[in-house]
C-alpha cells in the first residue's frame, strides 16, 4: 500500500485566496483525521471522520475552515479565505478502526506545507 497520500506537498498562496488540501487515506481504513502542526500547539486535531461522516469538528479554528469526505478514499480540507496565520503543516492520518483501541495507530501522510503571504 502506498500509505496516506496528501497533495500538494507545498502550497504558497496569497492572503484571501481559497486553498484546498487533499488526502487519500489507506484503503480499508475507517477513520480519517486532519491535523495541523504548529510550534505552539504541536499536532492539533482539526476534524475527525468515521466512515466518511464528520464526528468531531470542534478543533476547526473558525468558519473559514471546512472539510469534506465524499467517499472512503478522498477527503479535502478547504480554507476560504486564507490568512497568514493559517501558515502551517497540515497532516492527514487514517486508522483501520472506527474509534481507537489498544493496538490502533494512526498512519500519517507526508503533510502539506501551507504558506499564506
Partner 1 sequence: DQQVKQNSPSLSVQEGRISILNCDYTNSMFDYFLWYKKYPAEGPTFLISISSIKDKNEDGRFTVFLNKSAKHLSLHIVPSQPGDSAVYFCAATSTKTGNEFYFGTGTSLTVIP
Cell numbers for 51: 466512515
Say if residues 3 and 52 touch (Cβ distance below 8 Å). Answer: no
| Residue 62, CA distances (Å) to 19, 50, 66, 78 in order | 15, 21, 9, 12
Options 2, 39, 63, 70; binder of partner 1; rule CB under 8 A: 39
107 binds partner 1 (CB under 8 A): yes
99 binds partner 1 (CB under 8 A): yes
Options 13, 20, 44, 78; binder of partner 1; rule CB under 8 A: 44
Exposed e or buried b per residue across 8-31, where buried means at least 16 C-beta atoms within 10 angstroms of its C-beta: eeebebeeeeebebbbbbbeebbb
**Which is closer to partner 1, CB of 48 or CB of 65?**
48
**Which is closer to partner 1, CB of 17 or CB of 104?**
104
Q: What residues line the site for partner 1 (CB under 8 A)?
A: 4, 31, 33, 35, 39-45, 48, 50, 55-56, 91, 93, 98-111
Amino acid at each position: 500500500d502506498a500509505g496516506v497520500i496528501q497533495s500538494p506537498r507545498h502550497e504558497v498562496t496569497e492572503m484571501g485566496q481559497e486553498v484546498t488540501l487533499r488526502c487519500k487515506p489507506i484503503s480499508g481504513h475507517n477513520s480519517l483525521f486532519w491535523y495541523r502542526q504548529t510550534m505552539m500547539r504541536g499536532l492539533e486535531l482539526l476534524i475527525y471522520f468515521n466512515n466518511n461522516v464528520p464526528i468531531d469538528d470542534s478543533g476547526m479554528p473558525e468558519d473559514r475552515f471546512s472539510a469534506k469526505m465524499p467517499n472512503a478514499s478522498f477527503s479535502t480540507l478547504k480554507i476560504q479565505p486564507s490568512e497568514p496565520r493559517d501558515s502551517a503543516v497540515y497532516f492527514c492520518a487514517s486508522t483501520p478502526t472506527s474509534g481507537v483501541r489498544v493496538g490502533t495507530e494512526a498512519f500519517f501522510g507526508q503533510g502539506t506545507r501551507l504558506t499564506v503571504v
